[in-house]
Amino acid sequence: MLTLSQAINRALRHGLESDPKVLVMGQDVGRSGGVFRVTDGLQKDFGADRVVDTPLAEAGIVGTAIGLAMRGYRPVCEIQFDGFVYPAFNQITSQLAKLHARSGGRITVPVVVRIPVSGGIGAVEHHSESNEAYFAHTAGLRVMVAATPQDGHWMLRQAIESDDPVIFFEPKCRYWSKGEVAETADDPLVLPAEVARTVRPGTDVTLLTWGSMVETCLAAAAAADGEGRSLEVVDLRSLSPIDTDALVAAVARTGRAVVVHEAPTFGGLGSEVAAMLSERCFTSLESPVLRVGGFNVPYPAARLEGHYRPDLDRVLDAVDRVLAW
C-alpha cells in the first residue's frame, strides 16, 4: 500500500533511474522534497543537477524546460500550487502546446508539468484552484488527472515517457490516501493513460468524474445503495483526449448521466462532456445530462470551502432529479 504522494515519488524515481535525460525541477523540489514532500529524497539520490531547485519564477521554470526539451531532455516541472501556474500560462499555451505543430512535427517537447490541484485542505487564497478547463481547451496538450496511487504512479510514468507535453494534475486532498500499486507494467490493472476507468459498476445512473471528486462519487454511490439505487462511477482519468467511446458506452447502459467536478460548472469541462453525450447518446438518454460542480465565484476562504465543493448531498440531489425526469 502506498499513498498517492509516495506513488508519484516512486514514478519520478523510476524516470530518473531509467533515463539520464529525465530531470525534475521546481521550487523547493530538491533539498526540502517539495511542499507536499512528493519529491522527498530524490535530490539526495540523484544530485542537484538532476533534481533542480529553481527560483520562484513559474514562467522561467516552464520556459527553461521547453529549451531543455528541445535539446533532448525530458523535464518534469512541479508547479507548487495550482493557483501559481498562471505566470507560466503563456509559456504553456503559446509555446509548449504549439511547438510540435508549428515546426511541422520536427520538434518534440516532452515536458510534464505537475500541478497539485483542487481544494479540500483548508488552504489560503491562490492555493485551491480547479483550472483543468484552461488546459484541456488548448490543443497540443495532454491533460491527465490521477485520483488514486495506482494512477499516480503509472499515469505519471506514461506521461514522462510521452513525447507530447503533458499537464499532470494531482488532487492535493488525496495525497495521503492509500491504495495498491501494481508492480509491473503488464499487470491488467495498469491502463493506458487515455482510457477511462469504471471504478464502480451500476445500472441506474452513471456518475462521470475525475480527480478529487472520484471519492465523493463513490461515497454517493454507497449511500444510494441504501435507497435501492445503483450508481455507476466512471473516472475519466484523461481530460484531453477524453475517452468518449467509454463514456458513451457507460451512459448507453444506464440512460442517465451526472457529470461531477470541483471546478465551476460555468464553462467547465463538464459542459463539453454533457454536450458530447447529448449528441452521441440522444436515443439512449432518459433525461438530460446534469452537472454538479463548484459555484461561479472565486474559490472561497478555507472556512467556506465545504459549502463550495460538491459533496455527497449535492451529487445525490442531481441523481434524484435525473431519475425523476
Spatial contact of 114 and 168, defined as CB atoms under 8 Å apart = yes
Task: Give the strand pairing for 2-3 and 178-179.
Answer: antiparallel
Q: Which amino acid belongs to residue 175?
A: Y
Nearest to 140 by CA among 106, 168, 101: 101
Q: Residue 303 gets which letter from DSSP?
A: G
Beta bridge partners, 171, equal 117
User: What CA–CA distance (Å, rounded) separates 127 from 125?
Assistant: 5
Place of cell 432518459: 286
Which residue pairs, CB below 8 angstroms and at least 24 apart, start in 101-107? Answer: 101/139, 101/140, 107/70
Q: Is 100 a catalytic residue?
A: no
For residue 200, give Cα distances in angstroms to 40, 205, 225, 256, 259: 33, 11, 12, 15, 15
Residue among 100, 126, 127, 261 flagged as catalytic: 127
Q: Which amino acid is at 97?
A: A
DSSP 301: P
DSSP one-letter code for 155: H
Q: Which residues contact 303 (CB under 8 A, 6 or more apart)?
A: none
User: Counting beta carbons within 10 angstroms of the beta carbon of residue 108, is it exposed (0 to 12), middle (13 to 18) or buried (19 or more)?
Assistant: middle
DSSP 118: -
The residues annotated as belonging to the active site are 127
